[in-house]
Chain A
Amino acid sequence: MQYDKAKLLMKPEGVRDLLPELAEPQRETNGMIMSLFRRWGYLEVVTPALEFDSIFSDGLNSSYDDRMYRFFDARGQTLVLRPDWTMPLARVVASHMKKATRPLRLSYSGSIFRFTLPQQGKPREIFQVGAELLGSASPAADSEIIALAAESLLVAGLKEIKICLGHGKLLTELLNVLLPEDADSSSAIKEYFNNKDLVSLHNFVDTLPLNTEEKKMILRLPELKGGEEVLQKAQALFPADCNFFPLEQLGRVFQELRLFDLEKHIAFDLGLVRGLEYYTGVVFECYTPDLGFPLSGGGRYDHLLEHFGLPLPAVGFAINLDNLMTVLTRRNLVKTPDLEILVAYAGGCRQKAVEEAAKLRRMGLATILDLKERDFPGALDYTSKKKIKSLHYIGEDGIRKEDTL
C-alpha cells in the first residue's frame, strides 16, 4: 500500500475503535449498569465533552494540569476535553440545580480524555460510567455509593471483587499530630504514599526528628490491610491526641455496608491514598483477580463544590468500563452479538419477504432482509457464511425455515 494511503488508516495514539464484537457487549454492560443506577434513583446527566480549562485547572484538581487536551476556540479561550466527570457534574449542579431538594443522585456515562506518556500502552480516551450523591455528609451516603459500586460490578457478571477502603484524611490527621509545624515534610510523606513508594517513605521518615514509636505510626500504615480488626489496630497504634474521626467514619461505613450484606467484599487498606487534596473522607478502589488495575474508584470530596460557589458535601465513583470489558472478555462473560434470521427470497417474492421480516422484527428478532433474489442453496450458504442462526426462505410455494447453527 502507498504510504499516504496507509497513513489514512491510522488514528492518534491511545484511542481505539470498537468493532461490533465488543461495541455491543460494552453498550449492553453500560446499559445494565446505568439501569441499575436508575433503579437506585440515580438520574442521568449529559455534559459536553468540551469545557473551559478553568473548571479543571483551578482549585483542588491540579493533578490534571499536564494531562489535559487543551486548545483554543476562535475567541482565544482555552478549552479542554473533559479529563473527568466529577468537575462537569459539580458545575451542572452549581449552575442548574442549586435549589433542588437534596440530596441529589446523579449518574453519567461517556468518555474522558487524559494525555499520557507515549508508548506506555495507556488509553487516552477512557469510557467511564459512574454515580454521585451530592448534599449528604452521612456514612449512609458513603455506604450507598460503595454498595452501588459493588452492585455494578456484580450485575456486570463478576463474582469475586474486592473493595479496598481507606480515608482521605487519616494520614493528614496523623501528620497533624506528629509533624504539626512541618508542612513540607507532611506533603513529602503524602506524596510518597500517593506514589506507593514505600522505600522512599521509609528512608525519609528515618531522617525526621521523631522517636521510634512515632516513626512506626507512619511506616505501619501501609501494612494496615484486612478486616474490621484493622481499625482497632490503627487506633492502638496512633497517638492518643490524634483526631480519630477518619477511623470512626470508616467504622460507621463498615457497619452500614453490613446492612447491605457486602462486608465479604470489603477490605480496609489504610495506606490507600488517591490523589493529594481532593478527597476529604472515605476513599475506595475495586479490584478483581487477574486484572492489574482497579476497575473503579471513588470517594468523598466535600470541598470540591465550593470551587463553584456552592458548598455541598458529595461522594461518588466511576467505573473504568474499558477495564471492566477486558475482565469480562477474559472470563468469557462477553456475549458476541448474533444475528438471528435471514429472510431471503426467490424471484418475485420480495413483497412477501418484506412482510415476513417486518413480522419477525416486531417479535424482537434481529432480522436481515436480503437485498437480492437467491436460490435456496445460495441463500443457505450465505446464511452460514454470515453466521446467522436461521434462514427463512420465501419461495413461490411458501416459507421454508432452516437452522444453520
Chain B
Amino acid sequence: MPAKEKEMMTIALATGRSLSSSIDLLKEAGYGFSGLHKMGRSLISEDNARKIRYILTKPIDLPTYVEYGAADVGIVGKDVLMEQGRDLYELLDLKINFCRLVVAKKEGLKKRTHILVATKYPSIVEGHFMRQGKQVETIKLHGAIELAPLLDMADLIVDLVSTGRTLKENNLVEIEEIMPVSSRLVANRGSYQFKSTRINDLVSSLRCALERRETERK
C-alpha cells in the first residue's frame, strides 16, 4: 500500500544517558535533521521532509508507547525490554550504550538460605534465580541500589554496571553476569505489518551505519 507508506512514522527515543548516542547513530544512518538535537528540551519533534515524528519518553515507559502503537518504533535498552516482557518486535541490536546486568554482593558476605536481592529489575531477578533452582526475595528500588547491602537491607544487588567502578567504591564484588545489555530497535506489531517498508528501510540504514562503525573499529 504505497499511499499508506507515506504516512507519518513515529520513532520513540529514551531520555537520559543513551539519548545522544541514539541520535548520533540515527544521524550516521542518514536520519539526521536539525530538530533531533533539540530533543531533550522538547518532547516531540517532526522531520517533515522524511515524514518522521520523534517523541521522547522515559526509558521505562518507552516499551509501553511502542506496544500500544503510540510510537511505531523505538530505541531502548535490553534491560528494560527484558524486565517488562512487552509484546513487540525486537528488530536490531544497535550496539550502543553497552553495559552489563550483574549480581553483586557485599565483600565477605556469608552464605544464607533466605536471600534478599535489591534491584530495579524484580522480574529478571526472579527468572534468573529460578532457572538456577534458587528462590530469592526481591526488594524493588529505583536508584542507588548499591546502598541497600551497605545498610544491610539486602544481601545481593542486581544492577547495570559499565566500568564496575561504582561497585568497587561501595565495597561490592561482582559474583555473576546475568546478561550483556545494549540498546535495541523495537517495533509495534501492527506498524510492522502496515509500515513494513519504512521500518525495513530504517533497519537496513541502521545496519549499514553499524557495519561502517565495525569496519572503522578494525
Contacts and interface: CB of A to CB of B under 8 A. Distances in A.
Interface of A: 117, 120-121, 160, 162, 164, 195-200, 202-203, 223, 225, 267, 269, 287-294
B106 interface: no
B193 A267 contact: yes
A199 B184 contact: yes
A293 B86 CA distance: 12
Contacts of B7: 289
Given A196-B90, A198-B89, A294-B189, 10 more contacts: A196-B88, A199-B91, A287-B189, A287-B193, A290-B190, A291-B69, A291-B190, A292-B67, A292-B69, A293-B189
A288 B92 CA distance: 25
Contacts of A121: 64, 68
A197 B89 CA distance: 6
Interface residues of B, number: 28
Contacts of A197: 90
B191 interface: yes
A292 to B, nearest CB: 2
A225 B93 CA distance: 21
A287 B93 contact: no
Contact of B193 (A117, A162, A200, A202): A162
Contacts of B69: 290-293
Interface of B is mostly: mixed
Contacts of A203: 93
Contacts of A288: 190
24 contacts: A160-B1, A196-B90, A196-B189, A198-B90, A198-B91, A198-B92, A199-B90, A199-B92, A223-B200, A225-B193, A267-B193, A287-B189, A288-B190, A289-B190, A291-B69, A292-B66, A292-B67, A292-B68, A292-B69, A292-B188, A293-B189, A293-B190, A294-B189, A294-B190
B194 interface: yes
Given A199-B184, A292-B67, A292-B68, A287 B91 contact: no
B21 interface: no
A199 B95 CA distance: 11
B83 to A, nearest CB: 11
Contact of A287 (B87, B184, B194, B200): B194
Nearest 6 CB-CB pairs, A to B? A292-B69, A196-B89, A199-B93, A197-B90, A292-B188, A292-B190
B93 A289 contact: no
Nearest to A162: B193
Contacts of A290: 69, 190
